[in-house]
Amino acid sequence: MSLRNLSVRSLSVAALVAGAALTSSASATLIAGWTITTAFPTGAGNVPTGQTYSVGAADQGAQTAGSELSSFHTNPAATYTSPAGNGSQYAFSSNNWQIGDYYEARVSTLGYSDIEISWDQARSATGPSSFELVMSTDGGASFTLVAAYTVLQSGGGGSPGTWSSTTYNALYTTTLAVAGADEQALVIFRFRAAGAAGGATGSNRIDNVFISSIPSPGALALLGVAGLAARRRR
């Protein structure tokens, strides 16, 4: 389930080079993936609060150490919970959103090219809807805009459906190729609020954050041709 995006892409890649024998290096490589496998503390006095909270290193991929998914809020009253994910058991949720607050993924892309990022995100009725994906390759000194996007509401009238731990809804998934992220000692991705929430209790949640190295179709085609030529020589 958690590797659903990679599976779909692999099928698309196979269609592009049908009949060609591709080497293992031609397949998608998951660098780091967070599916939020552990519930956050609950109960009176135990729910995490404050300006920052981290779920730690990726639970999947090559970098299950050294990577990190966290959140920052200007308001120290922000609380962090783990409601149902989009087809996974938990998600990373927080409230008290202000413009500029963010979720953040940190990863190294040394040895990797053709970087792609995929994530699921949803909001409550009063959670912020306007977001930007920004990226830094200089340790956070500066950020560049990758994309502006709108977060859909989970549940409520007119929404595409409520997030469920057992049912995945593709409408909540965004997948983007990222220029300039290849071969970097540290890449910081921030999913940053560009609009205000409708209230302090308005929440936003993120799940299934995958950072991958996806070979381009041209590179795969060349590998396929090379494979066919090698078989002919044999």
Domain contains 17: no
Cα distance between residue 138 and residue 142, in whole Å: 7
Domain contains 22: no
pLDDT, tens digit (0-9, with 9 covering 90-100), for 61-120: 999 999 999 999 999 999 999 999 999 999 999 999 999 999 999 999 999 999 999 999
User: Does residue 133 register a pLDDT over 60?
Assistant: yes
pLDDT, tens digit (0-9, with 9 covering 90-100), for 59-68: 999 999 999 9
Quick one: average pLDDT of 171-186?
97
Cα distance between residue 4 and residue 118, in whole Å: 11
What's the pLDDT at 27? 77
Domain contains 20: no
Range of the domain at 38: 4-8+28-233
The CATH number of the domain where 199 resides is what? 2.60.120.200
What's the pLDDT at 156? 76
What's the pLDDT at 217? 58
User: Does residue 49 register a pLDDT over 70?
Assistant: yes
| Mean predicted lDDT score pLDDT of the chain | 85
What's the pLDDT at 224? 44
Cα angle 229-231-234, degrees, rounded to a multiple of 5: 115
- Which DSSP letter does residue 91 get? -
Domain contains 67: yes
Q: How many domains does the chain divide into?
A: 1
Instruction: Give the whole-number percent of the chain exceeding pLDDT 90.
Output: 76
Domain contains 184: yes
Domain contains 45: yes
Answer whether 195's CB lies under 8 Å from 132's CB.
no
Domain contains 148: yes
Domain contains 15: no
